[in-house]
Chain A
Amino acid sequence: SQQGEEDPQALSIQEGENATMNCSYKTSINNLQWYRQNSGRGLVHLILIRSNEREKHSGRLRVTLDTSKKSSSLLITASRAADTASYFCAWSGSARQLTFGSGTQLTVLP
């Protein structure tokens, strides 16, 4: 069973708009990662943020981490139809196993 939540469960936006997804977890973490899953495919790693970092950027992606609130957010700027996918946060503590959130289904309409 998952030990965190993501919201919204589903998000539908127009191409060019920004998309924000939120993740909450319940344990102490070493790092938090975001993955993308296209329909019928495996997960693809997007970005990792360490517990001592507050914000990280990679291209059109911006991730924030607030360890006091045990939450993270993923912002995708200037979205494209190709960004349509499910997005999962995942975190790990001192061990290397990942625990995944419930995912956000993002639909970007052309």
Chain B
Amino acid sequence: DAGVIQSPRHEVTEMGQEVTLRCKPISGHNSLFWYRQTMMRGLELLIYFNNNVPIDDSGMPEDRFSAKMPNASFSTLKIQPSEPRDSAVYFCASSLADTYEQYFGPGTRLTVT
């Protein structure tokens, strides 16, 4: 099993630029979660999908953030335009529909200057 795959692992960009983070969940998992981790706020759920459909996006900070899941094996989290306060580690996690245990990817460390 390859586990949850995220890319890129590190991203450095300038304020105002568009950033796209990518995630490939574990094959067969039909729930996908995007989290953000910062020292100040800890781990926060941004959005989660079930069978490719967004179920809860109440954690998405503002309209600059958007997430899509066009198919069962791929999801993106986009920030446009990016701001320095978006600097954080972004994690993707996946799980099976009938379980609560989540499997996390290695994360993308985003730095916005």
Contact = CB atoms under 8 A, between A and B. Distances in A.
Q: Report whether over half of chain B's contact residues are helix, strand or loop; otherwise say mixed.
A: strand
Nearest to A2: B42
A69 interface: no
Given A42-B4, A45-B103, A97-B56, A1 B41 contact: yes
Closest CB pairs A-B (n = 5): A42-B104, A100-B43, A43-B104, A45-B101, A42-B106
Contacts, number: 53
Interface residues of A, number: 23
Contacts of B50: 96
Contacts of A31: 100
A30 B100 contact: yes
Nearest to B105: A42
B50 to A, nearest CB: 8
B82 interface: no
A103 B100 contact: no
Nearest to B109: A40
A97 B101 contact: no
A7 B77 CA distance: 32
A48 B100 contact: yes
Contacts of A88: 43
A24 interface: no
Interface in B1-53: 4, 31, 33, 41-45, 48, 50
A102 B41 CA distance: 8
B78 to A, nearest CB: 21
B100 A95 contact: no
Contacts of A95: 55-56
A98 interface: yes
Contacts of B107: 41-42
Interface centre among B48, B102, B107 (most CB of A within 10 A): B102
A82 interface: no
Nearest to B103: A45
Contact of A99 (B45, B102, B103): B45
B45 A41 contact: no
A79 interface: no
A84 interface: no
